Chains A and B, each alone.
With several copies, the nearest count.
Chain A
Amino acid sequence: MTTGRHANKVVASVAEALAPIKDGMTILVGGFGLSGNPEALIRGVIERGVRDLTVVSNNAGNLGKGLALWLRAGIVRKVICSYIGNNEDLHTRRASGEITVEITPQGTLAERMRAAGAGIPAFFTPTGAGTVVENGKETREIDGRRYLLERALPGDVALVRARTADRFGNLRFWRTARNFNPVMATAARLTIVECDQLVDLGAIDPDDVHLSGIHVHRIVHVPEHENAFEYRTVRKRA
């Protein structure tokens, strides 16, 4: 009897978790800005020495942190994202032609990965109708409204940050650190999770699981994270 891909998922190190990553792969990386980033996996990919990566991420880093480390390391060939903003590392490399940047509406980015994970090869969406996002895409009027056909966006690997994982890979996320992490986990052939807490089977009630371990293939426990701020906005105590 062979062993399936859902046995023994917990690995001892980031390096072991990332062993399957190869040059030229498409990597989906969870996070919104610097929140919910798989920080140790991001650093580990640089140490692994792969290159020519296509990266799917909402922002591809910022303030020199997160995926900006990959941009600076020169291991990225293409970025598919929704927003560059003040990510100067990306602006610079886009301008020089070092990196190709494909900009997609954020909801379309999420839905294309949701489709990939759900076995839907293509779907119609109203987002971007009548805009430059239409360019090169099939359009159709349905019930009097204009829609674009968007394609599923699968990844070779997803790098995901979770607050809690059990040994099967059932995940819970914390607040808005959830963002793209669960949907990316569904959309990749291999999903690697970096969790703050690792717990035994049964420690999470079945109804409290945010994402089933069916979408998770490797788990590495990383207790310490930087969790960088972008804009620390506060109010004074009364």
Chain B
Amino acid sequence: MTPSTPPFTPQPTLWSTEDMARRAAREIAAGSIVNLGIGLPTQVADYLPEGHAWLHSENGLLGIGPFPYEGDEDPNLINAGKQTITVVPGGATFDSASSFAMIRGGHVDLAILGAMQVSATGDLANWAVPGGKVMGIGGAMDLASGCRHVIAMMQHVTKKQEHKLVRACDYPLTAARVVSLVVTDLGVFAPTGDGFRVVELAPGVTRDYAQARTGAPLS
């Protein structure tokens, strides 16, 4: 051992996106209605037992099935991310006004949505970066404010190591006081109003490690 060698510090094993999707899937009650947002949340479906929950797609379908077998793709059967999908037995199609009536009316039990920032009060920012290209709102605001529960999924910090779990969002809000749980690569956190409660940490992630990467007190 040379003097220049630093003392051994075990490195935490951060959750992969697969780990995050698997963990988020555990929050889904059997026989519930769930909307999985575009991107990472869509992967949560891979970790749900067949027939476990009913997946809602805001473009007009309840009962999303797996991707079609090659050759069976139908460009007029897609999810909100415009990916080709299938319908499970018991699925139903409807128009956009009815679909968002379901969302706004509180009939969707849970939305799992990608996020840019989540505040200690549960505010969600996931649709626009200040000064960035405007991509639009899509169904994000309706889902965030309308679904009975909202889980946010995101990397714990930005690529520039900026906090994303914060006291107050400085990105434009999607909806205020809606997020009940945040799943990140560091673990699972619940907004408490003045900080975040640590629900679970990824293997080897210490509370100090997580606190250093969180913009509000952990409890």
Contacts and interface: CB of A to CB of B under 8 A. Distances in A.
Q: Which of B98, B136, B139 has the most CB of A within 10 A?
A: B136
Given A212-B102, A232-B84, A83 B138 contact: yes
B95 A178 contact: yes
Contacts of A108: 141-142
Given A127-B104, A214-B54, A229-B84, A106 B96 contact: yes
A85 B134 CA distance: 8
Interface in A121-135: 125-133
A110 B96 contact: yes
B70 A201 contact: no
B135 A214 contact: no
A206 B30 contact: no
B121 to A, nearest CB: 11
B157 interface: no
A141 B137 CA distance: 23
Contact of B136 (A35, A82, A107, A111): A82
B93 A206 contact: yes
Given A105-B142, A120-B104, A4 B62 contact: no
Contacts of A126: 104, 145-146
A84 interface: yes
Given A176-B57, A176-B77, A202-B89, A128 B95 contact: no
Contact of A113 (B56, B97, B135): B97
Contacts of A236: 69-70
Contact residue range for chain A?
A: 35 or more
Contacts of B67: 233-235
Interface in B76-90: 76-79, 81-85, 87-90
B207 interface: no
A33 interface: yes
Interface stretch (A16-24, A45-53, A167-175): A167-175
A105 B100 CA distance: 10
B175 A175 contact: no
A230 B104 contact: no
A187 to B, nearest CB: 8
A2 interface: yes
Contacts of A6: 31-33, 54, 109
Interface string A22-52: 0000000000111110000000000000000
Interface string A212-238: 111100000000000111111111110
A139 interface: no
B134 A103 contact: yes
Contacts of A202: 89-90
A131 B175 contact: yes
Nearest to A9: B31
Given A129-B145, A229-B73, A231-B82, A4 B95 contact: no
Nearest to A34: B75
Interface string B162-179: 000000000011111000
Given A111-B100, A118-B101, A127-B146, A5 B82 contact: no
Contacts of A97: none
Contacts of B193: none
Interface of A: 1-8, 32-36, 58, 62, 81-85, 91, 94, 101, 103-108, 110-111, 113-114, 116-120, 125-133, 166-168, 170, 173-183, 186, 200-202, 204, 206-207, 209-210, 212-215, 227-237
5 contacts: A114-B97, A117-B107, A179-B60, A234-B69, A234-B84
